[in-house]
Amino acid sequence: MLHLRLIVPADRTKEVVDAIESTVGTTHLVVLPGAARTPAGDLVLCDVAREAGDELIAAIRALGIAETGSIAVENIDLSLSARADKAERDAPGEGADAVLWEHLTDVTHEESTLSVTYIAFLAIATMIAACGVVLDNSILIVGAMAVGPEFGPLAGVCTAIVQRAPRLALRSLIALIGGFAFAMVVTVCFSYAMDAFDLFSKAQLEADRPNTSFIFAPDWLSFVVAALAGAAGMLSLTSAKSGALVGVAISVTTVPAAANAAVALSYSDFDQTWHSTQQLLLNLLGIIVAGTLTLLAQKWFWTKQRERTPAKTEKA
């Protein structure tokens, strides 16, 4: 269940209440006239089943409440109420499958910002991966994958395509391209420093590396894995089951490929640089294509669910 806390101008309260009462899956409606001070208005509270949340939030936004008042949404971890149970039964679909598009847009907008923290995490992850590729250490590769924050802007690109939000797309692409470019430049400098201290060598880079050679060997299997990870990643963001996102992070070799390209470039090994770059681009493309298709499928599915849901005929 979700809890909505709304600050509504007094002259729009009836419309908001009507929207809540006509949405299947809502209950626990409370109206406190004149309770809000900044901005001034009525305080409206209600609970809604997660699978009906997106429809209700969209209806309230259509009334202009986001501009004239406030819409706050919280997850309810525990609700002991027969009415809440009935609301969840009446709502279409399953809560774990529900997509809150406003929440997804907000999350991806935040995660796809080219911030100092984002750049720092990506640069650190790439340097860890550089150690992994030179030492042929798969543990370091997995660690670097888990640290890398690049799925945020990738999800932002997918969301922007589906929601037709060019600003979000531009912001996400800037974060993605700018972040990797900066991280790779830092890793090239890091590689030079490690070489100066005799911790890296060209011989290590060009030696047989059975544990990490897949990083610079792009093929169709790489694209398939990236596509599967992209689909799983978007499902983890849009559903209530977000624990799978860590698994996605360690499934795709974006950060290690960037690291291998940077280290190879520092030793003028342009063959490995090119193949690692191909691997990076192939994985990014696979994630974006699969993530976008996953969102489009979810959007179509929930549209059909709403079409089959009868209007609410009695107050919760």
Cα–Cα distance, 79 to 86 (Å, whole number): 12
Closest CA to 6 of 52, 49, 59, 84: 59
Taken in order of first residue, the domains within the chain and their CATH numbers are 2-98 (3.30.70), 103-302 (1.20.1080)
Closest CA to 132 of 229, 258, 245: 258
* Contact present, 91 and 49 (Cβ < 8 Å): yes
Closest CA to 290 of 119, 154, 123, 160: 154
Q: What one-letter code names the amino acid at 146?
A: A
The reported pLDDT for the residue numbered 316 is: 38
Cα–Cα distance, 118 to 150 (Å, whole number): 8
194: Cβ–Cβ under 8 A, 6 or more apart, which residues?
130, 131, 134, 200
Cα–Cα distance, 138 to 210 (Å, whole number): 10
Cα–Cα distance, 286 to 225 (Å, whole number): 8
Q: What one-letter code names the amino acid at 104?
A: L
Burial category of 113 from C-beta neighbours within 10 Å (exposed 0-12, middle 13-18, buried 19 and up): middle
* Contact present, 127 and 139 (Cβ < 8 Å): no
Percentage of the residues of the chain whose pLDDT score is greater than 90: 62
What's the Cα-to-Cα distance from 156 to each of 63, 147, 225, rounded to whole Å?
26, 18, 20
Helix, strand, coil distribution of the chain in percent, nearest 5: 70, 10, 20
Tens digit of each residue's pLDDT, the chain (316 residues): 899 999 999 999 999 999 999 999 999 999 999 999 999 999 999 999 988 888 899 999 999 999 999 999 998 888 899 999 999 888 877 666 677 777 787 777 777 888 999 999 999 999 999 999 999 999 999 889 888 888 889 989 999 999 888 998 999 999 999 999 999 999 999 999 999 999 999 999 999 999 998 899 898 998 998 999 888 888 888 775 555 455 556 557 799 999 999 999 999 999 999 999 999 999 999 999 999 999 999 888 877 766 666 655 444 3
